[in-house]
Amino acid sequence: MNDKQIVGEKAVEFVKDGMVLGLGTGSTVQYTIQKLGELVKEGLNIKGIPTSIQTERLAKEVGIPITNFSEIQRIDLAIDGADEVNPNLELIKGGGGALLREKIIAKAAKKFIVVADPSKMVMKLGQFRLPVEVIQFGMEMTEKQIRELGLIPEIRLNETSPFVTDNGNFIFDCSIPDNVESEIIEQELNMIPGVVENGLFVGITDLVITLDQQKKVILLSK
């Protein structure tokens, strides 16, 4: 069993019968979803709200009933991965391009759990470039205003053409300078017209499941 599978399956222990779950996107949380599918076949009663078309496809394949925001009153628990996690449990997310739906679901959930193998744990955010989702109209002006904040944006490509999110938007992957404060830059980016959302998750995470140097599961909370 690899690191991602260990932490991904550990998160299932926090799922209770009758819950509405936010289902994240990525290579670690796919193990959570696959394990949940096994438990559904054994009688676990849950509903899932997926953060991406990719996750919705996987959830349906393993037999997890899918719901949406018009049908539910709450999200009990959201489980997702991360591209980076710092000691304050702040995250960079969006490597898979699903950051907008991931943040909507994480903020709507009563509890937000992040599953992360040890390679994602960092002292300071920023080695992984920060994804910023933008609408296509006026993207050149949006890019200019992102640069004015001190970030260095580069359009994400799918081979030779721009990568398009599930929402029909583009993504700038941004290098961020060392002196940037996560909470401030998150707010400043989202004040730019044309920016839909960014991949900084600040003050949202309740619990991180990862491994220590001996490959033992550890739970990190504030």
Residues with a known catalytic role: 102
What distance in Å separates the CA atoms of residue 153 and residue 139, rounded to the nearest whole number? 11
Looking at the DSSP bridge assignments, the partners of residue 20 are 47
What the block records as the tokens of 70 is 């018009």
Q: Name the E strands within the chain.
A: 20-23, 47-50, 75-80, 84-85, 91-92, 109-115, 130-134, 152-155, 157-158, 161-162, 170-175, 195-198, 200-201, 207-211, 217-220
What distance in Å separates the CA atoms of residue 201 and residue 209, rounded to the nearest whole number? 16
One DSSP character per residue, 69-94 reads TTT-S-EEEEEE--SEE-TT--EE--
What distance in Å separates the CA atoms of residue 172 and residue 114, rounded to the nearest whole number? 24
What distance in Å separates the CA atoms of residue 46 and residue 53, rounded to the nearest whole number? 19
Q: Taking the alpha carbons of 190, 188, 194, 151 in that order, is the dihedral positive or negative? A: negative
